[in-house]
C-alpha cells in the first residue's frame, strides 16, 4: 500500500510551498521558545514497579500499565535508551515472502522475550537490550506463506509444582509460522525435552489436508492453569475444504493434547451441530482463531475470537448463520467445554473476522462492578458482554441488511448492531462523499463509487462488484483495545477507508485474472461456483483513498456509559508521500495502543515511522519519537527496580503488506539521566 498516497510531484510541491509559507513564522517562534524552556527535570525515581508478563500486558488483554515515572509532564523528554537488531528482515528479494515485525515483547522473570518474523525467539537484557540467548526453529524461509513472515509474540509459564531453578520450571511457549508449538527453558533457551517430541508439538496433525505455507500460527499461545491453548492462521479463500480451524489445549508439562474445540462442528454430538447443515459442516474449513486469545484464570475461562468459515466471500456452500464463526467463544480452560458464545457477524461474506484480542474489563452499574468483556471488530462496532454469560451489557439490535443478488447465495437477513457504544465508523458512503486531492481525482473516485453496488454496511459481494465500507482490513484489526479502569476508558485505533470485492463465475475466472487490465488480487474459492477478486483499499488514480480523511483514528470510549470521550487522527502522510509532509490526515494503521497510569496512551501503528504519546484524558498528542522503520506493532512498558528507569519498547520493522519501511529493530525509549 505504498502507493496509497503516491501523489504527483507537482501537487506535492504546491502543497509543500503553501505549508512552508503558512507555518514558517510559527515554527521559528516555537523553536525559540523550546530552546529557552528546555530545562530537563530529573527523572523521578519513586512510583510503582511493574512488568509486562503477557502479550496484552496481562491474561485479560488490558494493555494497561500502572507505571507513572513517564507522565504527561515529562514525556516530551523521552529519548532512545537502547536499540537491538534481530537481523531477521525480508524484502521479498532473497525469500519469497516479505517480513512484518508485529511482535510485542514480554517481560518475564527479569528477562525480555521477543519473537522475530523468522520465528526465532530472543531473550534480552531489559535495561541494555543485549542478547542473553536465542533459539532458531529453522522454518523454511523459501516457502511462500499465506501471511507475510510474521509472529506477534510468545507466552511465559511457571510450573507451580516444579523446583525453583530446575530446567524448564519456567517456560517460554512459542508457536512457529510453520505450525509447531515449542516449549523453551526460559533461562537457557533450550527445548524442554519432556514436552511433546523433544520439545515440540506438530500442530498440523489432525486438522485435515495441509497445503504448504497455508496453515500457520501468527499469534502467541496462552497458558491457563496447566494447559497452553493455541489457535491458527489460514489462507481461507483457496477452497471450501481448507484446514480445520480447531482451537486446542496441550498439557503445559508434557505437550499431551488435553482438549480440542471445533468452531465448525464435525459430529452430531459437537456443540453447534444442530445449527449447521450436516453436509456443509463436514466439509467447511477455517472459522479459525488467528487473533490473540484472552483468559480469566480465576474463572477457568479462555476467550476465543474466531474468523469466517471458508471461503470468506461466498457462503452458498455453508448456509445458515455459521454459528461459532465470527464469534467470541468462552471455553472452560481446563476442559474445553463451551460456556457461552456471541456472534458479531452472521454468515460472514466480508472477511469480517474477529481480528482483535478480547479485553476483560468490569462495568460499573448501580455501585456494582460487573465482570465484562469488550470486543472490537472490523466494522467499528464495540460489543461489551457479560464475562460469565455472554449477554450484552448494552443494547444490541438485529437490523435488516441488504440481500444478495448472486445465484446460490443466501445472505443472512439481519446483523447485530450495538446501540451503545455507537458504531465508531460511518456505515454509509455515497458517491457525493468521494474524496480526492484534485477535482479530476475526486471525479474518478466518484465514478468508481457509482460503478459498485453499495446499499450500506453488510452489502453482499456481487458479480458486478461491491463496495465494502468499512474495509475488510477494518475498523479495528489485531492491535485490539487498551483499558484504563481508573479513568473507565477503552482506547482503540481504527482504519477508516473502503475496499471492494467481486465474484467471478467459474468459467470466466482464468480469463479475467489474466486480462492485461486486471487489478487487485484473485483467489479461486475452489468448490464454489465463483472465484473472487478484491482490493483491500479503494483508491483513486493518484493513489489517494477515495474516502474522506482521516484515514486513521485513535478513539477513547467510556466503558461504563458507552459514550465517546474523544477521537483524533492517527498518523501523517510524512513517510508515504514523495515529500515529507506532516499533514494530519491519519493513515491506515496496524498495531495497537497501551495506556499507563501516567496519563498516557502510547501507540505506533500508523504509516509514518513514529511512536506517539497522547494524553489519555483529551487525546492531545504530547510527544512522538522517530523510529528507524515502520512501527506496525503494539508497544509495551516496564520498570524493574526502585532506582531503575521506565522503558517503553516497540518493534520497528515495518510491514510487508502496508509497504512501510522494513527493518529489524527493537527500540526502547526512556527518560534521560
pLDDT computed for residue 45 by the predictor:
74
Domains in the chain: how many in total? 1
* Model pLDDT for residues 474-507, shown as the tens digit of each residue: 999 999 999 999 999 999 999 999 999 999 999 9
* Model pLDDT for residues 369-381, shown as the tens digit of each residue: 999 999 999 999 9
pLDDT computed for residue 529 by the predictor:
97
Are the beta carbons of 219 and 104 closer than 8 angstroms? no
CA distances from 190 to 109, 112, 156, 199, 388 (A): 17, 16, 14, 9, 39
> What share of residues in the chain are helix, strand, coil (percent, to 5)?
10, 30, 55
Is the pLDDT confidence value at 341 over 80? yes
Is the pLDDT confidence value at 301 over 90? yes
Q: CA-to-CA distance for 156 and 170, rounded, in angstroms?
A: 7
Is 617 tagged catalytic? no
Sheet holding 170-175, edge to edge: 155-158, 170-175, 180-185, 200-202
Identify whether 446 is part of a domain.
yes
pLDDT computed for residue 19 by the predictor:
37
Query: 99-100 and 149-150: which strand pairing?
Result: parallel
Identify whether 643 is part of a domain.
no
Q: What is the mean pLDDT of the chain?
A: 92
* Long-range contacts from 126-132, C-beta under 8 angstroms, 24+ separation: 126/638, 126/640, 126/647, 127/82, 127/640, 127/644, 127/645, 127/647, 128/82, 129/82, 129/83, 129/84, 129/666, 129/668, 130/84, 131/84, 132/189
pLDDT computed for residue 605 by the predictor:
97
Residue whose C-alpha cell reads 477507508 in the numeric block: 497
pLDDT computed for residue 578 by the predictor:
58
Is the pLDDT confidence value at 437 over 90? no
Identify whether 14 is part of a domain.
no
The DSSP H or E segment spanning 447 is helix 439-451
Identify whether 655 is part of a domain.
no
Over residues 465-476, the mean pLDDT reads: 95
Is the pLDDT confidence value at 212 over 60? yes
Identify whether 316 is part of a domain.
yes
pLDDT computed for residue 13 by the predictor:
33
In sequence order, the β-bridge partners of residue 637 are 648
Over residues 249-262, the mean pLDDT reads: 98
Identify whether 374 is part of a domain.
yes
pLDDT computed for residue 7 by the predictor:
34
Identify whether 247 is part of a domain.
yes
For 364, the domain range is: 153-477+499-536
Global pTM value: 0.93
Identify whether 541 is part of a domain.
no
What nine digits make up the cell of 28? 521559528
* Model pLDDT for residues 56-85, shown as the tens digit of each residue: 999 999 999 999 999 999 999 999 999 999
Is the pLDDT confidence value at 31 over 80? no
Is the pLDDT confidence value at 579 over 90? no
Is the pLDDT confidence value at 537 over 90? no
* Model pLDDT for residues 645-667, shown as the tens digit of each residue: 999 999 999 999 899 999 999 99
* Model pLDDT for residues 612-653, shown as the tens digit of each residue: 999 999 999 999 999 999 999 999 999 999 999 999 999 999
Which position among 58, 178, 296, 351 bears the catalytic label?
A: 351
Is the pLDDT confidence value at 14 over 60? no
Which pLDDT band holds residue 580 (cuts at 50, 70, 90)?
low
Which of 22-31, 45-54, 540-549, 592-601: highest mean pLDDT? 592-601
Amino acid at each position: 500500500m505504498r502507493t496509497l498516497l503516491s501523489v504527483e510531484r507537482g501537487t506535492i510541491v504546491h502543497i509543500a510551498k503553501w505549508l512552508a509559507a503558512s507555518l514558517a513564522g510559527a515554527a521559528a517562534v516555537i523553536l525559540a521558545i523550546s530552546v529557552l524552556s528546555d530545562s530537563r527535570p530529573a527523572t523521578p525515581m519513586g512510583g510503582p514497579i511493574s512488568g509486562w508478563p503477557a502479550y496484552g500486558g496481562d491474561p485479560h488483554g488490558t494493555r494497561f500499565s500502572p507505571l507513572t515515572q513517564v507522565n504527561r509532564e515529562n514525556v516530551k523528554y523521552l529519548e532512545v535508551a537502547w536499540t537491538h537488531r534481530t537481523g531477521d528482515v525480508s524484502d521479498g528479494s532473497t525469500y519469497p515472502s516479505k517480513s512484518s515485525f508485529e511482535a510485542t515483547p514480554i517481560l518475564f522473570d527479569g528477562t525480555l522475550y521477543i519473537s522475530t518474523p523468522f520465528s526465532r525467539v530472543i531473550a534480552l537484557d531489559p535495561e541494555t537490550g543485549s542478547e542473553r540467548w536465542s533459539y532458531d526453529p529453522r522454518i523454511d524461509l523459501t516457502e511462500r506463506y499465506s501471511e507475510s513472515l510474521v509472529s506477534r509474540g510468545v507466552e511465559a509459564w511457571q510450573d507451580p509444582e516444579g523446583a525453583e531453578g530446575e530446567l524448564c520450571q519456567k517456560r517460554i511457549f512459542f508457536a512457529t509460522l510453520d505450525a509447531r508449538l515449542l516449549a523453551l527453558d526460559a533461562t537457557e533457551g533450550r527445548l524442554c525435552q519432556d514436552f511433546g517430541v523433544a520439545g515440540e508439538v506438530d500442530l498440523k496433525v489432525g486438522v485435515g489436508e495441509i497445503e504448504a505455507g497455508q496453515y500457520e500460527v501468527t499469534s502467541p499461545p496462552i497458558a491457563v492453569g496447566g494447559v497452553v491453548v493455541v489457535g491458527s492462521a489460514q489462507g481461507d479463500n483457496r477452497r471450501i475444504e481448507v484446514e480445520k480451524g480447531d482451537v486446542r489445549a496441550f498439557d503445559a508439562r508434557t505437550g499431551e493434547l488435553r482438549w480440542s474445540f471445533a468452531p465448525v462442528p464435525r459430529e452430531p454430538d459437537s456443540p453447534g451441530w444442530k445449527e449447521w447443515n450436516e453436509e456443509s459442516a463436514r466439509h467447511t474449513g477455517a472459522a479459525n482463531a488467528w487473533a490473540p486469545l484472552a483468559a480469566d484464570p480465576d474463572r477457568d475461562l479462555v476467550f476465543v475470537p474466531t474468523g469466517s468459515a471458508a471461503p470468506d466471500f461466498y457462503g452458498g456452500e455453508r448456509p445458515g448463520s455459521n454459528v461459532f464463526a465470527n464469534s467470541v467463544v468462552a471455553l472452560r480452560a481446563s476442559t474445553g467445554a463451551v460456556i457461552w458464545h456471541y456472534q458479531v457477524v452472521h454468515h460472514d461474506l466480508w472477511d469480517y473476522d474477529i481480528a482483535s484480542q478480547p479485553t476483560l474489563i468490569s462495568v460499573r452499574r448501580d455501585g456494582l462492578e460487573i465482570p465484562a468483556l469488550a470486543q472490537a471488530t472490523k466494522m467499528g462496532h464495540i460489543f461489551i458482554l457479560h464475562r460469565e454469560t455472554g449477554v450484552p451489557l448494552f443494547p444490541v439490535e438485529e437490523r435488516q441488511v441488504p440481500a444478495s443478488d448472486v445465484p446460490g447465495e443466501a445472505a443472512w437477513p439481519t446483523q447485530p448492531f450495538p446501540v451503545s457504544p455507537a458504531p465508531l465508523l460511518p456505515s454509509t458512503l455515497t458517491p457525493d462523499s468521494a474524496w480526492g486531492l484534485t477535482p479530476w481525482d475526486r471525479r474518478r473516485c466518484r465514478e468508481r463509487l457509482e460503478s459498485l453496488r453499495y446499499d450500506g454496511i453488510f452489502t453482499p459481494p456481487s458479480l458486478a462488484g461491491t463496495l465494502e465500507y468499512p474495509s475488510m482490513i477494518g475498523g479495528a484489526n489485531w492491535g485490539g483495545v487498551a483499558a484504563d479502569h481508573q479513568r473507565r476508558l477503552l482506547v482503540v485505533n481504527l482504519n477508516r477507508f473502503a475496499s471492494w470485492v467481486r465474484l467471478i463465475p467459474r468459467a470466466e475466472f482464468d480469463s479475467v485474472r489474466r486480462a492485461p487490465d486486471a487489478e487487485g488480487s484473485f483467489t479461486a474459492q475452489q468448490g464454489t461456483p465463483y472465484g473472487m477478486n478484491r482490493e483491500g483499499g479503494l483508491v483513486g488514480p493518484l493513489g489517494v483513498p477515495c474516502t474522506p480523511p482521516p484515514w486513521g483514528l485513535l478513539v477513547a470510549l467510556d466503558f461504563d456509559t458507552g459514550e465517546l470521550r474523544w477521537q483524533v487522527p492517527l498518523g501523517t502522510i510524512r513517510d508515504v508521500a514523495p515529500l515529507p509532509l506532516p499533514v494530519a490526515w491519519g493513515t491506515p494503521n496496524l498495531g495497537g495502543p497501551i495506556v499507563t497510569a501516567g496519563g498516557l496512551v502510547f501507540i505506533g501503528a500508523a504509516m509514518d515511522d513514529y511512536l506517539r504519546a497522547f494524553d489519555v484524558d483529551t487525546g492531545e498528542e504530547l510527544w512522538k519519537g522517530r523510529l528507524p522503520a515502520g512501527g506496525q506493532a503494539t508497544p509495551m512498558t516496564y520498570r524493574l527496580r526502585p532506582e531503575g528507569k521506565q522503558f517503553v519498547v516497540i518493534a520497528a520493522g515495518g510491514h510487508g503488506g502496508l509497504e512501510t519501511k522494513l527493518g529489524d529493530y527493537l527500540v526502547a525509549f526512556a527518560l534521560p539521566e
